[in-house]
Amino acid sequence: MATKNAAGKNRSTNMEAILNHAMELLNQPVTEDDMEDFLCTNHPLLPYRYISCYLTGGYNGIDIIKNPKDLEMVREAKRKELNECAAPLDVFKIIVRKHRFRFLKDCEQWLSVEDLSTVLRYIWDTSEYADNTKVWSKKDIARLFSECDLRILMSEEEYEAYEALPDELTVYRGVCRSNKKLVKSFSWTLEEDAVGIGRYLGYDFLRFGSVTGKAYTAKIKKQDVIAYFGHRSEVIVNPSKLYECEQYEAYAA
């Protein structure tokens, strides 16, 4: 189905192309992920080296890097899973979380506005530090959001809340060691307290009772707010339009 966004661009979903690309990625070599522990791989669809696999006739552990036959068996099961996908979102749910932005970049050309809106929201909600992706520039992320249908990107309740936002907002954001340079970024919250800010600091914020993150506040005009995601009181903003940005104490030391 072809749909048109506010900018007037026509896009049509090409499910066959998306599935074919996923199949190509499935056939990529499986290697260990040097940045993770020995259980993980760098593969976009097969995240774990060791699998407790029912495919062998019992729940036996297999090693898909060491044993080519085991790898092909797991790949065949994943092919079947991909072939059962009815929509692009189904495919993106199979892609390993840290590879979803890369897959979106590859497949953007084959997504209708409706499917782009659905997929981008899913990736944003399920990715850790979504606005820290190295796949897209800030300009590209802003463009992606601008090409979405806001009534699909947001729920009905979120869209109503978005429409009711005041002309100027005070927003809050936390950073931790892994994203400390990402102060002026897309994701902010309307929650001022430590719990709300903690959602934007990652697990390092209150790990073992210690605080390793920093909290910031800023102001933004409503016209520069891209979207509102209610389950985290999250506002997606144009980072270049933030002003009066400064660090503040959001928690007791």
202 contacts 178 by C-beta, under 8 angstroms: yes
SS3 57: coil
In this predicted structure, what is the pLDDT of residue 50? 82
User: Given pLDDT bands bounded at 50, 70 and 90, which one contains residue 253?
Assistant: very low
Q: How many CB atoms lie within 10 A of CB 182?
A: 18
The first and second tokens of residue 57, run together, are 């006739």
Tens digit of each residue's pLDDT (9 = 90 or more) over 91-123: 999 999 989 999 999 999 999 999 999 999 999
Q: Average pLDDT of 140-145?
A: 92
CA distances from 236 to 123, 141, 203, 206, 253 (A): 14, 11, 21, 24, 29
Minimal CA–CA distance to 53: which of 78, 84, 74, 83?
Answer: 74
By C-alpha distance, which of 24, 22, 2, 5 is closest to 13? Answer: 2
Structure tokens, 69: 């036959």
pTM: 0.84
DSSP state of 48: B
Place of tokens 């729940």: 59
pLDDT at 203: 43
Instruction: Report whether 144 contacts 120 (CB < 8 A).
Output: yes
pLDDT reading at 55 higher than 90: no
**What are the backbone angles phi and psi of residue 118, rounded to the nearest 5°?**
-65, -45
Task: Work out the average pLDDT over 195-221.
Answer: 61
Give the whole-number percent of the chain exceeding pLDDT 70: 77
Strands (E), 41-134: 50-53, 60-63
pLDDT attached to residue 78: 95
Query: Which tokens hold the place of 234?
Result: 């999250």
Domain limits of the chain?
A: 2-150, 165-248
Report, as an integer, the average pLDDT of 62-67.
Answer: 88
Query: Which of 9, 65, 59, 12 has the alpha carbon at shortest distance from 38?
Result: 65
What pLDDT, on the 0 to 100 scale, is given for residue 177? 65
pLDDT of residue 205: 46
- Number of Cβ atoms within 10 Å of the Cβ of 199: 17
Model confidence band, residue 136 (pLDDT cutoffs 50, 70, 90)? confident
Separation between Cα atoms, residue 1 and residue 83, nearest integer Å: 20
Stretch among 85-89, 176-180, 230-234 having the lowest mean pLDDT: 176-180
Bridge partners for 228 per DSSP: 235
| Residues whose CB is less than 8 angstroms from the CB of residue 8 and which lie 6 or more positions away in sequence, other chains included | none
Lowest mean pLDDT among 9-18, 121-130, 148-157: 121-130
Residues 101, 135 contacting (CB under 8 angstroms): yes
